[in-house]
Amino acid sequence: MFERIKERKRRFNPIRRTVNCVIIPIYCATCFALLVPMICLMEIDDQKYLPVFLACIGLFVLLTAALLISIPFTRKKEVAIELEKYDFDAKSAEPRDKYFFVQADLAATFPLSSSPFSEFNNGNATFSGADGLRRLLDYYGLDIESGKLHNPIPEYGAASVGDYSEDARYTDFYADAHDERELKIYASHTVIINGDGMSVNGVRFNLENAHAEIITFNYLMHVHIYLNFTFEYEELTVSLRLSKDVLAIIDKFSIAVENRELLDFILNDPQTAFDEILKRGRITEKRLKKFSR
């Protein structure tokens, strides 16, 4: 648990990490050091220590006011940092007939009593679905109960695939046993989009049957904007981080974005859009209606 908390702190927006992990703790400690002793002194002799108590109250008010006043400036800096991570200039995107997105996450680790060497070690061999994972573990004589399942903090990279099927039919697994002490199992997804539609690890989908929408959130105080695909009757979601290539995909393959007004708002006023996402994780309907007028 502590490793996960440490990792979350490390991946916070740097400005927010400084505020949350340095400035606010110092502010709270200072206020505590000011007020608690003064309350005790007032209990002893309220007349004698009244001027000192009022001075401490004044200092507390000044510290609080300074913290509140700094919030808009801090947010402005956060927005500037997040804007640098995105490029919405679709015209500068390199023309392509096919777009590739790859996601690989550590799924589990298993202790090894020996250091096996096989064709699996180089990561070239992949096995599809839950059945493929069982075959891979059987090769090493391992049982799923002997491993440590990983639920890492999401990376939210260029692509994010959610496979919710019982047999993990849209997920490939491969092993890495270069470390003699443990076997690492990775879950990987390769998304390809071209004129024939979208494929996820070789399973093809018709983009005309997909529901595409823009989703936003502010996980770890970063701006996350994705084009999210869902497919009716399929336990699968595919999310592509909004970029000039994704904008080119929308245009090239005529993808109907269901909440197009949200995308237009982000592209027309990214400064305000990013500020809203950092504050609320989303852009409010009130803001969108005002933009649409």
Name the residue ranges covered by the structural domains of the chain: 2-83, 90-258
Q: How confident is the model at residue 165 (pLDDT cuts 50, 70, 90)?
A: confident
Q: Tokens representing 113? A: 């009593």
Q: How confident is the model at residue 246 (pLDDT cuts 50, 70, 90)?
A: very high
Which residues touch 174 (CB under 8 Å, ≥6 apart)? 120, 123, 124, 125, 126, 127, 136, 185, 186, 188
More confident residue, 220 or 256: 256
pLDDT, position 138: 77
Q: How confident is the model at residue 95 (pLDDT cuts 50, 70, 90)?
A: confident
Q: How far does Cα 293 stand from its chain's mean position? A: 32
